[in-house]
Amino acid sequence: MRGTPRPQGTADGSGTEPPQPRPGRAFAHSPGASGSGTPHRSDSRPPHTPRGARHTGPGGRPGTTPPVPGRPALLPLLALLLFGAVTWQVVAHGPLARLDERAGRALAGRGPQAVAEFCADLGNLQVALPVLAVAMAYAAWRGRRVQALYAGLAMALVPAVVVPLKLLVDRAGPFTTETGWYPSGHTATALVAYGGAALLVHRRLLPVAVLLTVATGIGLVLRGYHWPLDVVASACLFSPIGMRRSSWRTPSRRTGPS
């Protein structure tokens, strides 16, 4: 005996209606639908995964924000502010200038004077300028003519800045009544020449340039040619040139999520 077809009912016996499409099921996987979980999302809700909830960078890619180029300018600014404060104390003959003169008199003549004289001579143009010239020639030979020109202009800037300041501040030197010792031209020459040469040849030579500049300043103070603040002021005034040149980096481009 042939039986009749059994009704297609649900578990609760709700009749023979064909199954109806349920919202959020049949259409949930269509591209661009809300809550689809596919790459083609149209809503702004982050997917419920730790990686998907990360904030994106400037280019829309996940990851951290690259370094801001303006941040390295903080160090040169601080150096120039320190130079301004020292100059104000020297001009006004403030407490810092008086302490500087007492320290200068106490330090002058200390240590082996032959070594101090040698260190002080490192700031002479006859010594420092040939070093920079060789480095500029090397950089030009390697095709870095713009960098070589930059170093030459920085060196030319030393007398153009130092000489007017010497005349304006008109500070007397140690053990002499002559004026025009602030800031130290020898320190500025050493800093720009040796620092520029290191930047042109290889950045790993920068510690050597710093050592030569510090040795120049110490020699000038121990020989009684300059007050300590004369040396500090020159370092603060001209170190931003090297900072500006060596501290800027081009942020590396991210090609994918980190």
Q: Is the pLDDT of residue 189 over 60?
A: yes
Residue 72's pLDDT band (cuts 50, 70, 90): low
Mean pLDDT, residues 61-83: 68
Residue 229 backbone dihedrals phi, psi, to 5 degrees: -70, -25
Residue 198's pLDDT band (cuts 50, 70, 90): very high
Q: Is the pLDDT of residue 182 over 60?
A: yes
Residue 252's pLDDT band (cuts 50, 70, 90): very low
Q: pLDDT tens digits, residue range 226-240?
A: 999 999 999 999 988
Q: Is the pLDDT of residue 140 over 60?
A: yes
The pLDDT, as a whole number, for residue 64 is 47
Mean pLDDT, residues 134-142: 96
pTM here is 0.68
Domain-by-domain residue ranges, the chain? 73-246
The pLDDT, as a whole number, for residue 75 is 84
**Cα distance between residue 50 and residue 194, in whole Å:** 51
Mean pLDDT, residues 213-242: 94
Ranking 41-50, 75-84, 233-242 by mean pLDDT, the lowest is 41-50
The pLDDT, as a whole number, for residue 18 is 55
